[in-house]
Amino acid sequence: MDFDLESLVDVEQRFYDDGYHDGFAHGKIHGSIEGRALGREKGFEMWEELGFYEGFALMWQAIHAQQSRNEDRTAHHIRQLLDLIGQFPRVNPSATEPSDLDIPRLFRQIRSRYKALCATLGVRPTLRAADSIAPNSSEDAENGNSQSSTRPSGSKSVWPVQSIDNQRSGEQFSF
Amino acid sequence: MDPFSDVTSDDEAVWLEDPKTLQDSEWSRLSSNFTNAGYREGITAGKESALQQGFDEGFAEVGAPLGREVGILRGMALALISFLTASPDQASQQDLIQELRDISSELSRIRLSDIAPRDLEAERHAREHDIEGNTNGDEMDLELTEELKEKKDMEKLEDLMMQLNPEPASTSSAKRPTMDDVRRLKERLAALSVRLQLEPRWS
C-alpha cells in the first residue's frame, strides 16, 4: 500500500465523477419518463374540462343556428367562451418562452363564462372540476409534498401543476 | 481469544489473507463508496435536468389533445341532453335521450390510461431494471411520484367497486375502453346530430 495522499484524493474524485456521470445519464431517463407521465395527466385533466366547455358551446351554437334563433345574449356568451378557450395554451408555455399569460385567471374566466351561458340557457351547469373534488383535494396535499421534495427550483415554471390545482381546490367550495 | 476460531468476522478474515488481497479489497471498497456517492448525486441531478422537458412533451403531445377530444364529446353529449330534455316533444325523443345517456356514461368511464399511447421508453427502461434485478435497489425510489401513485390506487379502487357492484352487469363495464371506443362514440354522436339536423363545428 504505497500510494501517496495526493493521488488518493484524485482517485476519489475520479470515482465520484465516474459515478456521477453514470448516475446523471440514468437519472435523465427517469426524469423524462416521470415528467412525461405527469405532463400527460395534467394536460388531460385540464383539457378534458376545457374541452367539455368547448363541446358544450359548439353544440349549443349548432342548435341555435338550426333554429335560427338569434338570442344575442346566448350567442354572445358562446362566442366569448369559445374565444377564451381558444386562448388557452395546448402547449406548456415554459417550453417556448416565459409568458405573462395568467392561466388561473383565464381558467376562472372560462368557468364563469360557462356558468353565464348555462344561466341564459336555463341549464344547470355541470362543473367538470366538481366531479373530482375528493380525489383532487387530497392530491393537492400530496402534490405539495412531492413538489418540494422532488422538484428543482428550475421546474417551478411548470405552470399547470401547481397554479391550476390550487386554483381549483380554492374555487371548488364557492360553487 | 483464539484468532483462528471459526467466528472470524470479515474484517478479521481480511487480515488473515495476503497483502495483495487486502489492497484489492480496500481499493474496491473505496472505489464503490465514491462511485456510489457520485451516482446518487448524479441520478438526482440528471432527473431534474429532464423533468421539465418530459412534462412539456407529455402535456402537448398526449395529455392535452386526448383530454380535449374526450372533453368535447362529453360537452356535446351533455348539451344535446339538456336541449332534448327541455324540448316540449320530449316524449317522442325518448330513444334519442337514452342513446345520449349511454354515450355520456361511456364517455365518463374513459381514463387517460385507457387511451394514452404506450410510453415505449418507460417500458424499455422498466425491462432493463428487471434484467438488472434489484442490484441498486435503494437508488431506485424513482418510480412514480406520490401523486401518480395515488391516482393509480384510486383507479384500482374504482375497478374493485365496479366488480363488487353486481347491478350493471353489462359486458362493457368488464373491460376498459380503448381509443376505438372513443372513435365509435364520436360516430354515434355525429349520427345523432345528423338525425337532429344539427351541424356542430367538430373543430
Residue-wise pLDDT for A97-153, tens only, equals 566 778 889 999 999 999 999 999 999 888 655 443 333 333 333 333 333 333 333
> Is the model's pTM score more than 0.95?
no
pLDDT for residue B60 is more than 60: yes
Average pLDDT of span B186-196: 94
Residue B119 in contact with partner chain A when CB distance is under 8 A: yes
What residues in B contact A47, CB-CB < 8 Å?
Answer: 63-68, 71
Tell me the one-letter amino acid at A106: L
Residues B104-150: pLDDT tens digits? 999 999 999 999 999 999 999 988 888 776 555 444 444 556 777 88
- Whole-angstrom CA distances from A107 to A91, A168, B181 are 15, 9, 29
What residues in A contact B67, CB-CB < 8 Å?
Answer: 43-51
User: Which pLDDT belongs to residue B151?
Assistant: 82
A17-26, A68-77, B56-65, B73-82: least confidently modelled range: A68-77
Interface test with A, best of B68, B129, B182, B197 (most A CBs within 10 A): B68
User: Which pLDDT belongs to residue A145?
Assistant: 35
Dist. CA B57–CA B74, nearest whole Å:
25
- Residues sharing a CB contact under 8 Å with residue A165, sequence separation 6 or more, in sequence order: A136, A139, A140, A143
User: Which pLDDT belongs to residue B14?
Assistant: 54
C-alpha cell at B3: 484468532
Average pLDDT across chain A, whole number: 74
Q: Is residue B121 within 8 Å of residue A32, measured between CB atoms?
A: yes
Average pLDDT across chain B, whole number: 82
Dist. CA B61–CA B196, nearest whole Å:
34
User: Which pLDDT belongs to residue B154?
Assistant: 83
Which residue in chain A has the smallest CA separation from B49?
A: A28
pLDDT for residue B165 is more than 80: no
Produce one character per residue of A136-170: b if its CB has 16 or more CB atoms within 10 Å, e if not: beebbebbeebbeebbeeebebbbbbbebbebbbe
Dist. CA B128–CA B135, nearest whole Å:
12
C-alpha cell at A107: 381558467
Dist. CA B156–CA B184, nearest whole Å:
26
User: Which pLDDT belongs to residue B11?
Assistant: 60
Which residue in chain A has the smallest CA separation from B41?
A: A20
- Residues sharing a CB contact under 8 Å with residue A26, sequence separation 6 or more, in sequence order: B39, B42, B43, B46
Dist. CA A59–CA B103, nearest whole Å:
15
pLDDT for residue B82 is more than 80: yes
Say yes or no for a CB contact (<8 Å) between B38 and A151: no
C-alpha cell at B12: 478479521
